[in-house]
Structure 1
Amino acid sequence: MADMVVLVVAALFLAMGGSINAAVVEHTFLVSEVTLRHLCRDTVATVVNGQLPGPALEVTEGDSVVVHVVNQSPFGVTIHWHGVKQRLTCWADGAGMVTQCPIAPNTTFTYRFDVVGQEGTLWWHAHISTLRATMHGAIIIRPKSGSYPFPKPHQDVPIVIADFWQNDLRQVQKDLELWIADGDHSKDGPASATINGKIGDLYNCSGVAQDDTFVLDVEPGKTYMLRLANAALSNEYYFKVAGHRLTVVGSDANYLRPYNATGDVVAIAPGETLDVLMVADAPPCHSYYMVALGTQSPPPAPQTATRLARGIVRYPDSHGEAMEPQMPDQHDRTTSFHFHGNMTGYPNNPLLPQVRGHVHDKFFLTLGMGTIRNHTVHVANINNVSFHLPQGRSLLEARYHGAELVTATEEMSARPPLEFDYTDPVLINFFNRSAKLLELEPSRRATTMRHIAYNSTVEVVFQSTTLMEDSPNPMHLHGHDFFVLAQGIGNYDAARDTASYNLVDPPVKNTVMVTGLGWAAVRFVADNPGNWFLHCHYEFHMGMGMATVFEVGNGPTPETALPPPPADLPRCDRSIAYE
């Protein structure tokens, strides 16, 4: 049966103009609940193929991917192939209630898409509620030529940084809306951080040290490509390996001009991926800790317990205690800001000439928190509107069939309704709310979209605000890549800040880290018809409404228009809760 599927998919690929040399990479993802034993407790988790992280997809650029998802969990699920552009395959994007209804329990759906024009590291994850905390894995895209714009590494090493939750994740989703309502937040977060599903050797319970550590065995002189992905729900991480230099060469499946990370520390936001070269050139008589440290905003922002995990880089002749790296402070935002600001790409991207030219649509989007129902319910928002997922059918289905939604949609505004000092520190303290904060925090809920003409050039300025917090915001757009033109501290000023735009060699990314006290400016070319989710990749921000949808119109030919949905596209089951 599997062989027949491969032949049929290959035939379809050829009929659509694919290359005879492209391979078909086929997987079956069995979604089920398993019991994990960590920290002296059994925890029930929803995982893929019994693994945490789930299986890695390893492909060569140009391959076709077929993934059969068999849902044996009690929840509706979808899988999002984070960063895969899904050229004319928007139906396979996996954004629950945006591009498809979830896959109901005891049913199956097959995702089919091509991986074209991308090389590097991406990742996949559940896109329903908080299930991505345990349903995720790496996507490794190798160049068809076998060559890289840097010395070819001897080995690929996927490193997925994540959280380990002992709480019921569905309850976590419900609790997120109350996350900021009381002063003791240490109990609300995950029990530990993890590297490749392992909690490391820093935790103990019942007086017994726990040692569940990821170990990377290396050979002196060899180069290792660390393919990092941050699957955590709510933390950016600093990552460092004691005694080793880290050279950043790619991010979000796009090459970067290689640069050595300052202090050999890399910063990776939720949703972001990094390709980092590490040469095993430290004294081989030692082992060396790799450390992932979760960051957070300093007080008066609400505080959570420190997230920290560590693995070991081990040489054949090492002995004794492993050497530890010196990490930045968990409240240090400057290291992350400069790390992301140091990224530059290559000037040969085929879309760059268009990005440098006329901009058809400009948006100024404020990112913050707010309240509804007379200050009693807390939400996150874009331009003071908290996104509400539709019910009954997905936005893409409603568009294709010309059908109405149970939940009406409205146009996303191009600017916020009020202008104010977006980074005023007096607005941060939720527990001692000023009159100004009480005036600015009221929001509303709606299902917002913005229509974008096919092949338009779009500029978006993301402005973080200090309304009730000053967290950074890793903003992710489905179906497209951003050209990251500039970032800054404070309030964006077009008259001043457009002069700082890098239109020569900007980095190209699908997730841009908007610092908590500043802004980021990006452009993208809307050359992929579909309904594409734009959202913060902090789960408590997205779940509370920091999201919207860009609806990219059809092009002038059948080959540039949204194709019909697959025959097995799931239908909504109103008996299942998807939020």
Structure 2
Amino acid sequence: MEKLSMAATIFCAVVLAALAAAGGEAAVVEHTFVVHEMNQTHLCNTTKIYVVNGQLPGPTIHVTDGDTVVVHVVNRLPHGLTIHWHGVRQIRSCWSDGAGFVTECPIPPGGKHMYRFNVTGQVGTLWWHAHVTCLRATVAGAFIIRPKGGRYPFPTPAKDVPIIIGEWWQLDLVELDKRMHDGNFADNPLSATINGKLGDLKNCSGKPEESFVLDVVRGETYLLRIVNTALFSEYYFKVAGHTFTVVGADGYYLTPYKTDMVTVAPGEAIDVLMAADAPPAHYHMVALANQPPEPDPQIPGFDSRGLVRYAGSSHNNNGLPVSTPLMPSQHNTMPSYYFHNNLTGLAHPDRHRVPMDVEERLYFTLGLGSICRNGTKTCQRRRSRETIVVATMNNVSFRHPTNTSLLERYYDGRTSGLYTEDLPDHPPHPYNYTDRALIPPGPLEEALEPMFKATKLRRFRYNTSVEIIFQSTALLQSDSNPMHLHGYDFFVLAMGIGNYNPKTDPEKFNYHNPQLRNTVQVPRTGWAAVRFVTDNPGMWYLHCHFEFHIIMGMATAFIVENGPTPETSLPPPPPEFKRCGSNGLTQP
């Protein structure tokens, strides 16, 4: 009976979306997500994983600009979870953002919850994922927003195809989360995946793993919607014998940019056109994880391989080897910097104007540090067993609530003892943030390593223009940092390598046609400058999208106050919102 109900729900959603596209009217798109456990066997091992409706990746949600989305989530896991609609602006619907312990308490085992929100003013690819523990490694899927009337600023593709890049973990994801909370990030996935497939580069006892196959017709153009759902790594993506035209990212159009390789960081969604203009044959696609070189901590190389297969080509590719793209070194992170720095927005000056008069300027350093175990004030540093490695913003490692919601308590005015609103504007102790001697074995890191944990937020008045300079550091490691802000898109004005120079680097800012993004890839030992206006009241999570960074504390939340009118204020919780006590969690 439940299967029939779910099928009917999906059928109704498809019909309503089709009618809306034809008639130009907004629709209500409704889905049911049943989250449950199931087993999958890869590399000679059977692993328990967590999925939605038996699918890996999870179901794709298709909507049109202006639609209302309703998703009924049924939690059949033995763990609580929330679902976050990554990149959806959630205008005046912060209650549906789905950030665990920030905007809501998790849906308890056996519980149900309904998310309802509107999608307006965004077009392209976003995604959804679990936002409690590491479950987003498998509880995730694409969220596709089509333009009204099907009008693109480029030739309409023959087909659009989600390309979900992820990772295969043999370790239970809940156990992985516990280990990361203890400062342990020595665990690694076994493989990269493309649309849930490990690819034929991996095998067990001589039997290759299954590959994702994209069937194409020569002469047609395909819109690839590339999303990185991985917990650990940024990925390079190529298809042998083909080039791409990048046309969008994070739900907005970009100035068309031609390239033979796409770089996609965790949290990012990149839209590219691929013309099937090669001789009919088989061609490999490859997703390769990059990582900093030594002396950074090293992890195994991860990649996955799929297949582009032309109609009319023989089953065995005429006995010829299948072309494989030439990939960069996994330790060369500069292609990521050049890719992201070359993207610009498709200018819409009537709708999207960069705020020129900045009222709040923030400078956030991003890096690692340590705290002493057992609450002691002094301990041996340099990754000794007496310390826990933490991730930080301006020397603060965010202490996540564990039994209440920041938004609920803020709305009720019961915040005493839960958080403070004094996250520093600037790092408390300036130093040479990108000095490679800060990476162990150092020895300069020891004096800078001590950090502290606290729940420190920032509050902004409604309609305030904000500039943030994100500065990646080399403290304990020199990784990049994909920073994601809930509830907002920001203009990426510029990025650079090295330490940000407030006197000379603003001369590089692009005020004409910057990218409008919800996730910015702050380069390894580099910086990125973003601006936005606080026009969406609520409680909005800001965090790095590397899972080990967010769990270890590279996060905060922005409080945006109500505006002067009901239309510029956060409404009360909707009827379907379940307060923390009703979710089976006790409140302090």
TM-based fold match above 0.5: yes
1:509-560 Cα offsets, whole Å, 9 max, x none, are 1000001111000001111001100000000000000001111111110111
Report the AA paired with residue 306 of structure 2: G
Say yes or no: does 1:317 pair with 2:321: no
Structure 1 pair 180/33, CA: closer, same or farther in 2 (3 Å)?
closer
Distance 1:5 1:257 in 2: 37
Say yes or no: does 1:545 pair with 2:553: yes
Structure 1 pair 180/424, CA: closer, same or farther in 2 (3 Å)?
farther
Aligned to 2:76: 72
Deviation at 1:55, TM superposition (A): 0.2
1:358-393 Cα offsets, whole Å, 9 max, x none, are 111110000000011134111000000000112432
Aligned to 1:364: 363
Distance 2:24 2:344 in 1: 34
Counterpart of 2:32 (choices 11, 28, 34) is 28
Aligned to 2:487: 479
Q: Is the 8 A contact 1:176 1:540 kept in 2?
A: yes
Aligned to 2:125: 121
Counterpart of 1:236 (choices 222, 234, 237) is 234
Deviation at 1:150, TM superposition (A): 1.1
Structure 1 pair 251/211, CA: closer, same or farther in 2 (3 Å)?
same
Provide structure 1 residue ranges, at least 5 long, that are not aligned to the other structure.
10-18
Counterpart of 2:570 (choices 562, 566, 569) is 562
Counterpart of 1:270 (choices 266, 270, 281) is 266
Deviation at 1:317, TM superposition (A): 2.5
Aligned to 1:508: 516
Deviation at 1:351, TM superposition (A): 5.4
Structure 1 pair 408/525, CA: closer, same or farther in 2 (3 Å)?
closer
Aligned to 1:461: 469
Q: Is the 8 A contact 1:398 1:405 kept in 2?
A: no
Say yes or no: does 1:395 pair with 2:403: no
Q: Is the 8 A contact 2:102 2:405 kept in 1?
A: yes
Deviation at 1:336, TM superposition (A): 0.5
Q: Is the 8 A contact 2:580 2:586 kept in 1?
A: no
Distance 2:175 2:25 in 1: 47
Deviation at 1:175, TM superposition (A): 1.9
SS of the residue 2:337 aligns to: helix
Distance 1:399 1:203 in 2: 49
Structure 1 pair 78/180, CA: closer, same or farther in 2 (3 Å)?
closer
Distance 1:273 1:349 in 2: 23
Q: How do 1:212-227 and structure 2 match up within 5 A?
A: 212-227=210-225
Deviation at 1:328, TM superposition (A): 0.7
Structure 1 pair 25/356, CA: closer, same or farther in 2 (3 Å)?
same
Say yes or no: does 1:283 pair with 2:279: yes
Distance 1:2 1:166 in 2: 30
Distance 1:310 1:105 in 2: 36
Distance 2:154 2:437 in 1: 47
Q: Is the 8 A contact 2:99 2:131 kept in 1?
A: yes
Deviation at 1:123, TM superposition (A): 0.4
Aligned to 1:130: 134
Aligned to 1:197: 196
Distance 2:251 2:437 in 1: 39
Q: Is the 8 A contact 2:165 2:228 kept in 1?
A: yes
Deviation at 1:567, TM superposition (A): 2.7
Report the AA paired with residue 475 of structure 1: M
Structure 1 pair 5/334, CA: closer, same or farther in 2 (3 Å)?
closer
Aligned to 1:345: 345
Structure 1 pair 571/523, CA: closer, same or farther in 2 (3 Å)?
same
SS of the residue 1:129 aligns to: coil
Query: Taking structure 2 as the reference length, what is the TM-score of the superposition?
Result: 0.91
Q: Is the 8 A contact 2:421 2:459 kept in 1?
A: no
Deviation at 1:176, TM superposition (A): 2.2
Deviation at 1:440, TM superposition (A): 0.6
Aligned to 2:18: none
Aligned to 1:259: 257
Aligned to 2:299: 304
Distance 1:515 1:426 in 2: 18
Q: How do 1:24-173 and structure 2 match up within 5 A?
A: 24-173=28-177
SS of the residue 1:409 aligns to: coil
Deviation at 1:211, TM superposition (A): 2.8
Say yes or no: does 1:380 pair with 2:391: yes
Report the AA paired with residue 48 of structure 2: V
Distance 1:511 1:465 in 2: 18
Distance 1:63 1:80 in 2: 18
SS of the residue 2:134 aligns to: helix
Moved more, 19-28 or 194-203: 19-28
Distance 1:5 1:397 in 2: 31
- For the aligned residue pairs, the C-alpha RMSD in angstroms reads 2.1
Say yes or no: does 1:407 pair with 2:415: no
Distance 1:177 1:356 in 2: 38
Provide structure 2 residue ranges, at least 5 long, that are not aligned to the other structure.
14-22, 373-378, 382-386
Distance 1:546 1:349 in 2: 34
Deviation at 1:40, TM superposition (A): 1.2
Distance 1:529 1:156 in 2: 34
Structure 1 pair 5/328, CA: closer, same or farther in 2 (3 Å)?
closer
Deviation at 1:458, TM superposition (A): 0.5
Moved more, 553-562 or 318-327: 318-327
Structure 1 pair 576/314, CA: closer, same or farther in 2 (3 Å)?
farther
Aligned length: 554
Counterpart of 1:440 (choices 413, 437, 448) is 448
Report the AA paired with residue 339 of structure 1: F
Distance 1:556 1:3 in 2: 44
Q: Is the 8 A contact 2:367 2:393 kept in 1?
A: yes
Q: Is the 8 A contact 2:162 2:226 kept in 1?
A: yes
Q: Percent identity?
A: 54
